């Protein structure tokens, strides 16, 4: 049974925005007193929250599909729809959020940090909000837009001050159990520890956390075994403690060769940009199991060689607790020095991002097609406007045409070489496809037409009085000419009979 998960893929769907309402206020003695349709509610967000009480991503491993609540529909009497319920997902401190391509979206290393990973959809405006002095009674409302939907990857990297690294069965779990209140699984076979364990150590006035990283083997940095999964938890540690087994019975192994193998794996593991490489961090040596006489002799033999390399060496026993106090106080000194150095560093200047007014809000891409060029309009704003449009309502389609024209889409289509009848697509993929007609633009607000219709979209325009009069005279003239021809034929027939 899985008890610890440090990497999971979440399938998220934010809430959809509610549709706006089309309504006209009706009162006694005041028929059609103006639009009063309310706005739709925004969809609920999906928010990640760094929670110190959460230590694993196990719950998301079993239930990876999560979603926010949908917004309510707008109603008459200017009543707005209910807001969709946001979903908060607590994750362990130290969780890195990535997209499916591997790009880092955020790093939740501070407790309480909140990150909106899937924003909810925008609620549509009702016809009351769309009313203006030129459009006093809109017969349409805007639809709600769908919320963000996609996959994100959560990757847990343990946040600790000190990491215990070494071969399997070197005594790392026993060490963290001896110096803290942690109670990891301890047994006399390799790979007993399958996930990192955290323990809090009190050394005098200094309190710090220690992470028991599962055992490493040769080739771990290249993915052998579960090395990459384990090395990820060493990235955030301030100092490393190499726990070396001085009582191993495996042939060809000794503390010096074990250290060389672990150092090679640490050097080969790439850390994220901006972090100190693992080999450049403070490192201490703990020669373990000196309660065994042969191990005590081996520790005394290899200690001068290790000190010659520049390491601080401590001979310890997790069984008799020998040498543990000097080790914990030495680690406390290293952690304190690191914390003082961090406080002395200048605070990074806060970056303020301001929108650029000159930035183009859409682009037009010309694509070749079987029956001519296809002009594809790309941009967040045109795509959102299309999602908000009810294409069963002529007035709403005319409103969309006006918005696109004011944005400058029509001018750009002319520059791109589009002609009347050209195929235009808004959005990626299939998108919304229509035949472009330049005449379908300009001043829909000034046109008088029944609510819910747009005269520019009328395929059978009504004839004017002059046109009907002209058509009437044409019919009358044609009838008169036909009667004249019949009369002429009758007269010619009578003349022939007289002869």
Q: Are 55 and 145 in contact (CB under 8 A)?
A: no
Write out the DSSP string of 336-398.
Answer: HHHHHHHHHSPPPPPP-----TTS-S-EEEEE--TTS-EEEEE-HHHHHHHHT--TT-HHHHH
Is 146 marked as binding a ligand? no
Cα–Cα distance for residue pair 363/382, rounded to 1 Å:
10
- Is 215 one of the annotated binding-site residues? yes
422 known member of a binding site: no
Cβ proximity of 47 and 116 under 8 Å: yes
375 in a labelled binding site: no
168 is in an annotated binding site: yes
- CATH code: domain 363-457 is 3.30.300.350
- Please tell me the distance from the alpha carbon of residue 366 to that of residue 416, in angstroms, as a whole number: 8
Q: Annotated binding residue at 472?
A: no
* Residue 441: predicted pLDDT: 44
Contacts of residue 151, defined as CB under 8 A and 6 or more positions apart, other chains included, come to 9, 10, 11, 12, 99, 100
DSSP 460: S
Which residues, including other chains, have CB under 8 Å from residue 383's CB and lie 6 or more apart? Answer: 426, 427
Q: Does residue 23 contact residue 127 with C-beta atoms inside 8 Å?
A: yes
Long-range contacts of 471-480 (CB under 8 A, 24+ apart): none
Q: Residue 346 annotated as binding? A: no
9 is in an annotated binding site: no
- Say if residue 56 carries a ligand binding annotation: no
Residue 100 annotated in ligand binding: no
On whether 113 is known to bind a ligand per the annotation, the reply is no
User: What would the two tokens of residue 7 be?
Assistant: 């990497």
Q: Is position 166 annotated in a ligand binding site?
A: yes
How crowded is residue 224: how many other Cβ atoms within 10 Å of its Cβ? 13
Check whether 289 is labelled as a binding-site residue: yes
What's the pLDDT at 279? 84
Sheet containing 162-165, strands listed edge to edge, beginning at the edge strand earlier in sequence: 197-203, 206-212, 162-165, 239-245, 283-288, 312-315
Domain segments of the chain as ranges:
1-156, 162-344, 363-457
DSSP-derived 3-state class of residue 203: strand
> Does the annotation place 290 within a ligand binding site?
yes
CATH number of 1-156: 2.70.210.12
Tell me how far the alpha carbon of residue 110 is from its chain's centroid: 19
**Residue 17: what pLDDT?**
95
The predicted structure's pLDDT at residue 343: 76
Right CATH for 162-344 from 2.160.10.10, 3.90.700.10, 3.40.50.300, 3.40.50.1010: 3.40.50.300
Q: Which of 384, 479, 489 is nearest to 427 (CA)?
A: 384
* Residue 192 assigned as binding residue: yes
- The residues of the chain scoring below 70 in pLDDT are 1-5, 30-32, 182-196, 214-231, 345-359, 369, 439-463, 495-499
Sign of CA dihedral 254, 256, 260, 266: positive
Identify the CA nearest to 441 among candidates 398, 483, 475: 398
Q: Does 214 appear as a known binding residue?
A: yes
173 is in an annotated binding site: yes
Q: What is the pLDDT of residues 89-130, one digit of tens each?
A: 999 888 889 998 888 888 888 888 899 999 999 999 999 999
CA atoms within 13 A on the CB side of 339: 12
What is the Cα Rg of the chain in Å? 38
């Amino acid at each position: 049974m899985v008890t610890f998960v440090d990497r999971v893929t979440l399938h998220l769907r934010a809430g959809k925005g509610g549709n706006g309402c089309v309504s006209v206020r009706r009162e006694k003695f005041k028929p059609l007193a103006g639009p009063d349709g309310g706005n739709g509610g925004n969809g609920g967000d999906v928010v990640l929250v760094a929670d110190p009480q959460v230590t694993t991503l196990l719950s998301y491993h079993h239930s990876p599909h999560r979603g926010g609540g949908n917004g309510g529909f707008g109603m008459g009497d200017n009543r707005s729809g209910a807001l969709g319920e946001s979903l908060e997902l607590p994750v362990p401190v130290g969780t890195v959020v990535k997209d499916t391509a591997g790009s880092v979206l955020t790093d939740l290393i501070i407790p309480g940090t909140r990150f909106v990973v899937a924003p909810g959809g925008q609620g549509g405006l009702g016809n009351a909000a769309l009313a203006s002095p030129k459009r006093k009674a809109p017969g349409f409302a805007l639809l709600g837009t769908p919320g963000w939907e996609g996959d994100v990857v959560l990757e847990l990297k343990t946040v600790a001050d000190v990491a215990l690294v070494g071969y399997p069965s070197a005594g790392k779990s026993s060490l963290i159990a001896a110096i803290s209140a942690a109670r990891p699984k301890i047994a006399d076979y390799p790979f007993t520890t399958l996930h990192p364990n955290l323990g809090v150590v009190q050394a005098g006035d200094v309190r710090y956390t220690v992470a028991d990283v599962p055992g490493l083997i040769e080739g771990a940095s290249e993915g052998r075994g579960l090395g990459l999964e384990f090395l990820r938890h060493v990235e955030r540690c301030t100092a490393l403690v190499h726990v070396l087994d001085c009582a191993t019975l495996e042939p060809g192994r000794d503390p010096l060769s074990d250290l060389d193998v672990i150092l090679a794996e640490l050097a080969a593991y790439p850390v994220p940009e901006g972090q100190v490489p693992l080999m450049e961090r403070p490192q201490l040596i703990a020669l373990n199991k000196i309660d065994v006489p042969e191990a005590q002799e081996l520790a005394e033999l290899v200690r001068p060689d290790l000190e010659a390399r520049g390491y601080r060496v401590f001979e310890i026993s997790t069984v008799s607790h020998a040498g543990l106090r000097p080790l914990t106080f030495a680690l406390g000194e290293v952690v304190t020095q690191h914390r003082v150095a961090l406080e002395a560093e200048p605070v990074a200047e806060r970056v303020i991002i301001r929108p650029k007014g000159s930035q183009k809000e859409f682009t037009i891409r010309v694509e070749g097609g079987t029956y001519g060029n296809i002009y594809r309009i790309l941009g967040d704003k045109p795509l959102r406007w299309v999602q908000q449009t009810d294409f069963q309502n002529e007035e709403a389609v005319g409103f969309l045409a006006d918005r696109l024209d004011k944005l400058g889409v029509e001018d750009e289509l002319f520059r791109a070489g589009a002609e009347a009848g050209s195929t235009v697509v808004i959005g990626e993929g299939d998108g919304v496809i229509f035949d472009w007609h330049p005449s379908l633009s300009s001043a829909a607000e000034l046109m008088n037409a029944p609510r819910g219709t747009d005269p520019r979209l009328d395929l059978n325009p009504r004839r004017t009085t002059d046109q009907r009069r002209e058509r009437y005279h044409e019919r009358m003239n044609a009838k008169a000419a036909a009667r004249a021809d019949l009369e002429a034929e009758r007269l010619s027939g009578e003349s022939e009979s007289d002869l």
